[in-house]
Amino acid sequence: MNEQIEKLAEQCYETGPIGKDGWPEYSKFNYKKFAELIVQECGVALSPMLRDMISRGQAYDLIKEHFFGVEE
């Protein structure tokens, strides 16, 4: 897996309270958070190449709109 994707994935694990044995009661992967982090990274990745085509803000807004819809 891509190193950058692995770094994002590591941020998306959630654990429950620590049990009597010293281990978390559960651990799960938050897919929604992972998707949101990928979209944020798309904005970062697009910024240098879009300098002359469209504004970085517009490109980032297009990606957010594509994944999350229009927010009012």
Which residues of the chain are under the pLDDT cut of 70? 1, 45-56, 62, 66-72
pLDDT of residue 30: 94
Q: Check if the beta carbon of residue 47 is closer than 8 Å to that of residue 56.
A: yes
Which pTM was predicted?
0.62
% of the chain exceeding 90 in pLDDT? 21
Q: Which pLDDT tens digit goes with each residue over 4-24?
A: 788 889 999 988 888 888 887
pLDDT of residue 69: 67
Domain ranges in the chain are 3-68
Residue 13's closest CA among 36, 29, 24? Answer: 29
